[in-house]
């Protein structure tokens, strides 16, 4: 006998406590659920599990009401008031006659009038039947399961909702507030895939509606299902069942079933590469390209310079391995000009932690409510992919500060609040490292910078002379090309002489690759000094020293710890640095003369 999932126990306890008559199951409702020795789809699971003690009926807009037997349907009609007392007696006699004819194999005659299928007509009937107590038929409770609840009370502004949708919403809210229903053993259970698709009034905190998440299976539950599939003549594996369970973080049992079916059809063992490819496809399909699963390819040792930053990150990695979660920050913001290695640092951190590594993009869409639904789905998927490092690039562009006029009807504030709730969840501390990247920290909301949230704000600055040499030295190893005896100190010095204050780590990487291409074109097997010199002379920096200098000062002024600052900045006040980093206003000529544009 397999143990029941935790959400099943939560649902059972909620129903037994009679604290609410309206429950919402959300998230992973399309998956299989263990029951005894089998795994069943959610509707079949609810039917078999609840019918042990209760009467259960189902409804969705497509199939209408579904009953386990004719007796339950008859009692529903009686409880819903669809027949008078005399009609009830006649219906009972007609039901007996029909059963007798069916037993003899003869036509049963005229069928009773069909029940309505539109939710605005069905929900009042369900409520009336549950209040009557007729559905119980001597059992403990009567439970009505409304599937695809987002099609009944969709998320929308009430003023824009269709009249039928408003009627359904009010009916469900009235249902939740009606104490007569639980007194008669009545329960209404809604199922929805994305909770954000359901009207927010039904899921607001403090209401009489109990919301229960059906999470994606964890590693132990995936292992349990993998072993079940292997016992059912599953496919051959190129790894152990435990390794398959670990590699499929973020996937459902249904996804595992599909993976194994594909492998069995091909007749070849299931490989890690197939699993990685399938995970990318699933995330791309289900999250519409808003999350990219990346396989980290290098560690911190392959990044030149940044000694203080790498030392801190290794302390975090060791704390994660030791389980000392108090040393693990809830979030990290990496600051600095483009090209200084912010993305590379995040990827290397994920590699050394052994965590999954995902990049998320801006979830905003033009349709009302779509941005919040997208972000909610992203956060739920991230929770299932733990342990992981999350990289949010261009963080200053994903949302406006709450002090700015956004014109987005509060979408930015709601997305920010959803992220705060996610990163503030103590159950994921040490399992999720959320890293935000920006070169404009002044555009971040002040709440982002308060202690306890993204409290570690780490500036990654332009490489100094020694760091430039170190970066030049790492590139041949990183990109696997040979060099002759090249004086890299000279090359680093030449870069600074030609482009003072403009050469980033990414620029040095580009110069190294250009040197390699130049060597190959001239037929050399190894990159020589002349190739490096040619590449340096050929290179044109993307930004001016003035712009880079202001971005560097801005990063330093928002730093959270002096340990990350070079000596030249440690004794300079943050306000002084911010004043020096303030962008210069632009002055342009217009039809009315010179105008000063706002600072950007």
pLDDT digits (tens, 9 = 90+) for 196-217: 889 988 977 666 899 999 998 9
Mutual angle of helices 370-384 and 411-423, in 10-degree steps: 10
Point out the least confidently predicted range of 11-25, 77-91, 161-175: 77-91
Distance in angstroms (rounded) separating the CA atoms of residues 217 and 37: 17
**Is 292:358 a contact under the CB 8 Å cutoff?**
yes
Fold classification of 294-459 is Rossmann fold (3.40.50)
Q: What is the largest CA-CA distance in the chain?
A: 105
The reply to whether domains 6-214 and 294-459 share a CATH topology is yes
Using CA atoms, how far residue 386 sits from 250, 257, 299, 300, 315, in Å, is: 8, 21, 20, 21, 20
| pLDDT above 90 (res 170) | yes
pLDDT score, position 85? 45
Distance in angstroms (rounded) separating the CA atoms of residues 238 and 443: 49
Burial of 208 (0-12, 13-18, 19+ CB in 10 A): middle
Confidence of residue 179 (pLDDT cuts 50, 70, 90): confident
| pLDDT above 80 (res 408) | no
**Is 387:356 a contact under the CB 8 Å cutoff?**
yes
Mean pLDDT, all residues of the chain:
84
Between strands 356-360 and 291-294, the pairing is antiparallel
| CB-based contacts of 443, cutoff 8 Å, min separation 6 | 396, 397, 401
Structurally, what CATH architecture does the domain formed by 219-286 represent? Orthogonal Bundle (1.10)
Sign of CA dihedral 538, 543, 549, 555: negative
Point out the least confidently predicted range of 178-182, 349-353, 393-397: 393-397
pLDDT, one tens digit per residue, over 529-540 is: 999 999 999 999
pLDDT score, position 24? 95
pTM given for the model: 0.72
Distance in angstroms (rounded) separating the CA atoms of residues 195 and 291: 19
pLDDT score, position 270? 86
DSSP 476-522: HHHHT--B-S--HHHHHHHHHHHSTTT--HHHHHHHHHHHHHHHHHT
Distance in angstroms (rounded) separating the CA atoms of residues 229 and 250: 18
Q: What is the mean pLDDT of residues 119-130?
A: 94
DSSP state of 195: G
Q: What is the mean pLDDT of residues 567-590?
A: 59
| pLDDT above 50 (res 585) | no
**Is 254:282 a contact under the CB 8 Å cutoff?**
no
For residue 425 the two structure tokens come to: 């969840």
Between strands 331-335 and 356-360, the pairing is unpaired
Per DSSP, helices labelled H in 323-423 are 342-353, 370-384, 395-398, 411-423
Residues 36, 41, 47, CA angle at the centre, nearest 5°?
70
Point out the least confidently predicted range of 182-196, 211-225, 289-303: 289-303
Q: What is the dihedral of CA 294, 298, 300, 303, to 10 degrees?
A: -110
Confidence of residue 586 (pLDDT cuts 50, 70, 90): very low
Structurally, what CATH architecture does the domain formed by 465-538 represent? Orthogonal Bundle (1.10)
Selection from 421, 288, 309, 445 nearest residue 367 by Cα: 288
| CB-based contacts of 226, cutoff 8 Å, min separation 6 | 234, 241, 244, 245, 256
| pLDDT above 80 (res 289) | no
Please give the residue that has the higher pLDDT: either 91 or 110: 91
| pLDDT above 70 (res 545) | yes
pLDDT, one tens digit per residue, over 304-334 is: 888 899 999 999 999 888 888 888 888 899 9
pLDDT score, position 57? 96
Mutual angle of helices 529-538 and 505-521, in 10-degree steps: 120
pLDDT, one tens digit per residue, over 431-457 is: 888 999 988 888 887 777 666 666 789
Confidence of residue 409 (pLDDT cuts 50, 70, 90): low
| DSSP β-bridge partners for residue 437 | 334
Selection from 361, 363, 379, 60 nearest residue 213 by Cα: 379
pLDDT, one tens digit per residue, over 26-37 is: 999 999 999 988
In the chain, domain spans: 6-214, 219-286, 294-459, 465-538
pLDDT score, position 594? 47
CATH number of 6-214: 3.40.50
| CB-based contacts of 409, cutoff 8 Å, min separation 6 | 368
Distance in angstroms (rounded) separating the CA atoms of residues 154 and 165: 7
pLDDT score, position 428? 83
Q: What is the mean pLDDT of residues 81-89?
A: 58
Q: What is the mean pLDDT of residues 122-145?
A: 92
Q: What is the mean pLDDT of residues 413-429?
A: 82
Q: What is the mean pLDDT of residues 218-245?
A: 89
Helix (H) or strand (E) holding 39: strand 38-41
| pLDDT above 70 (res 510) | yes
Q: What is the mean pLDDT of residues 168-190?
A: 91
Confidence of residue 84 (pLDDT cuts 50, 70, 90): very low
Ramachandran angles phi, psi of 260, nearest 5°? -70, -35
**Is 143:50 a contact under the CB 8 Å cutoff?**
yes
Residues 367, 368, 373, CA angle at the centre, nearest 5°?
90
pLDDT score, position 481? 92
């Amino acid at each position: 006998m397999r143990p029941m999932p935790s959400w099943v126990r939560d649902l059972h306890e909620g129903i037994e406590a009679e604290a609410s008559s309206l429950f919402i199951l959300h998230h992973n409702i399309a998956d299989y659920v263990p029951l005894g020795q089998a795994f069943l789809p959610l509707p079949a699971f609810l039917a078999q599990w609840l019918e042990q003690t209760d009467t259960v009926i189902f409804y969705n807009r497509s199939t209408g009401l579904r009953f386990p037997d004719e007796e339950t349907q008859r009692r529903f009609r009686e409880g819903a008031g669809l027949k008078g007392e005399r009609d009830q007696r006649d219906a009972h006699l007609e039901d007996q006659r029909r059963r007798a004819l069916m037993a003899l194999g003869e036509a049963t005659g005229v069928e009773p009038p069909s029940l309505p299928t539109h939710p605005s007509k069905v929900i009042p009937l369900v409520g009336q039947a549950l209040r009557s107590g007729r559905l119980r038929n001597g059992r403990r409770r009567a439970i009505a399961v409304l599937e695809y609840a987002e099609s009944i009370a969709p998320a929308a502004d009430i003023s824009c909702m269709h009249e039928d949708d408003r009627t359904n919403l009010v009916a469900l809210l009235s249902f939740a507030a009606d104490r007569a229903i639980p007194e008669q053993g009545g329960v209404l259970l809604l199922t929805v895939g994305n909770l954000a698709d359901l009207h927010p009034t039904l899921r607001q905190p403090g209401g009489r509606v109990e919301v229960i998440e059906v999470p994606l299976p964890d590693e132990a539950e995936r292992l349990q299902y993998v072993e079940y599939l292997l016992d059912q003549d599953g496919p051959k594996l190129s790894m152990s069942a435990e390794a398959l369970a670990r590699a499929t973080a973020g996937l459902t049992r249904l996804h595992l079933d599909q993976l194994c079916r594909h492998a069995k059809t091909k007749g070849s063992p299931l490989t890690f590469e197939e699993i990685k490819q399938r995970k990318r496809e699933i995330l791309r399909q289900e999250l519409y390209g808003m999350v990219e699963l990346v396989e980290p390819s290098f560690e911190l040792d392959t990044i030149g310079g940044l000694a203080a930053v790498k030392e801190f990150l290794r302390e975090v990695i060791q704390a994660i391995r030791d389980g000392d979660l108090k040393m693990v920050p809830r979030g990290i913001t990496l600051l600095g000009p483009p090209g200084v290695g912010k993305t590379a640092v995040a990827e290397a951190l994920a590699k050394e932690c052994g965590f999954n590594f995902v990049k998320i993009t801006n979830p905003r869409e033009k349709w009302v409510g779509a941005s919040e639904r997208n972000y909610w789905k992203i956060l739920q998927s991230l929770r299932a992919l733990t342990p992981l490092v999350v990289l949010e690039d261009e963080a200053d562009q994903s949302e406006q500060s709450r002090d700015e006029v956004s014109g987005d009807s509060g979408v930015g504030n709601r997305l920010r609040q959803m992220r705060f709730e996610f990163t503030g969840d103590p159950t994921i501390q040490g399992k999720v490292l959320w890293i935000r990247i920006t070169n404009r920290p002044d555009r971040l909301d002040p709440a982002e910078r308060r202690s306890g949230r993204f409290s570690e704000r780490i500036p990654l600055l332009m490489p100094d002379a020694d760091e430039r040499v170190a970066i030049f030295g790492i590139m041949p190893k990183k990109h696997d090309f040979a060099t002759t005896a090249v004086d890299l100190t000279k090359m680093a010095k030449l870069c600074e002489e030609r482009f003072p204050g403009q050469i980033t780590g990414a620029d040095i990487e580009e110069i190294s690759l250009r040197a390699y291409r130049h060597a190959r074109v001239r037929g050399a097997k190894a990159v020589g000094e002349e190739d490096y010199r040619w590449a340096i002379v050929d290179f044109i920096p993307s930004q001016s020293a003035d712009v880079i200098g202001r971005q560097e000062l801005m990063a330093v002024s928002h730093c959270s710890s002096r340990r990350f600052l070079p000596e030249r900045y440690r004794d300079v006040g943050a306000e002084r640095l911010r004043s020096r980093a303030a962008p210069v206003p632009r002055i342009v000529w217009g039809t009315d003369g010179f105008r000063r544009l706002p600072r950007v």
